[in-house]
Amino acid sequence: MKDQTTRAAIGIDLGGTAIKAGLVCRDGAVPARQGIATEAGGGVDHVLGRIAGLIGAMRRHAADLGVELEAVGVGMPGTLSHRAGVVFAPPNLPGWRNVPVVERLRAATGMNVVMENDANCAALGEFVCGAGRGVRNLVLLTLGTGIGGGIILDGRLWRGSNENAGEIGHQIVQLDGRPCNCGQRGCLEAYASASQTAARAVEAIRSGQASVLRALVDGGRPLTSEDVVQASQAGDELARRVWEETCRYLAVSCLNIQHGWAPDCIVLAGGMSGAGELLRRPILEAMDKLASKLLGPLPDVRLARLGNDAGFIGAALGVLLEPG
């Protein structure tokens, strides 16, 4: 029997601006890590070459540390086929269409490579060594420019029959609502992502409503969800209303999640989760008001713990937990 802690995988988190890589052990420990710029403008071949270079660097670290390397896990945004190893059209990598990432990286490195959606990776990371440690069922939401999601059921990642289950951001929470980038209307993402929270505040200000944020908007500085939270804390009525609405939409989605999968906990991750208790508490309060309470206790809503490392840690854990 091998010592489980010496088995490791290389995790890669491919983002639009940065590629993060780490050597990750089965318990989530990260003995080596490295980050480089994506240089997405260089195109598919250039970026895949940079990833292959990072994999080479991680292999050298593994050899130096005497760590037994299993495989490479790559986390990517957007819809993809885990089985085929093909990413369809990642939103933050312009020009990438139906790229056979797994085949290309296998050819370049000679290693076994597995690809996974980045929110699924974050869910796996938080499940094994973050906010979800010790639970059996978990749903994670990444709250950033968009809203991603990942579902862990009975300790395993749930991909569904279309391999893209967990797209909680595109749950419709408002009939005939705001248009979403995905083509639907009324998606959670169209209301409660960081960027759409800021956009709703800007729209309200442009329609003539009073707010301390007007000076920023008139000055041409792009508003952020942090601006909305800060103004809300400072007593700005418009910001308070917009933020409360964001939290209420998220609460609706958390209840939908409970009705669908009844997880032990729902983990809030991504940039907007930096608001901490200012995000978590109003969501819990709104859930409490909206819920029927017939289905037992509400899922625990928790803040993610792994921060920006969750992507590459989860990508590696995916291959360690589900080899082959």
Which positions lie near Zn ion, rule CB under 5 A? 170, 180, 182, 184, 187
Instruction: Name the residue nearer to Zn ion (CB basis): 44 or 182.
Output: 182
Q: What is the token pair recorded at 73?
A: 């896990």
Taking the complex as a whole, the smallest distance from the CB of residue 186 to Zn ion amounts, in Å, to: 8
Instruction: Name the residue nearer to Zn ion (CB basis): 148 or 311.
Output: 148
Instruction: Name the residue nearer to Zn ion (CB basis): 190 or 216.
Output: 190
Among candidate residues 109, 281, 253, the one with its CA nearest the CA of residue 170: 253
**Structural contact between residues 163 and 151, judged by C-beta atoms closer than 8 angstroms:** no
| Farthest CA pair distance, the chain | 69
Instruction: Name the residue nearer to Zn ion (CB basis): 180 or 216.
Output: 180
- Chain centroid to Cα 157, Å, comes to 14
| 11, burial (CB in 10 Å: exposed 0-12, middle 13-18, buried 19+) | buried
Could you give the CA distance from residue 40 to residue 94 in angstroms, rounded to a whole number? 8
Instruction: Name the residue nearer to Zn ion (CB basis): 162 or 207.
Output: 162
Look at strands 138-143 and 265-269 and give their pairing: parallel
Taking the complex as a whole, the smallest distance from the CB of residue 291 to Zn ion amounts, in Å, to: 24
Taking the complex as a whole, the smallest distance from the CB of residue 94 to Zn ion amounts, in Å, to: 19
Taking the complex as a whole, the smallest distance from the CB of residue 181 to Zn ion amounts, in Å, to: 6
Among candidate residues 47, 41, 46, 45, the one with its CA nearest the CA of residue 13: 47
Instruction: Name the residue nearer to Zn ion (CB basis): 180 or 223.
Output: 180
Taking the complex as a whole, the smallest distance from the CB of residue 171 to Zn ion amounts, in Å, to: 8
Among candidate residues 65, 56, 71, the one with its CA nearest the CA of residue 32: 65
Taking the complex as a whole, the smallest distance from the CB of residue 258 to Zn ion amounts, in Å, to: 21
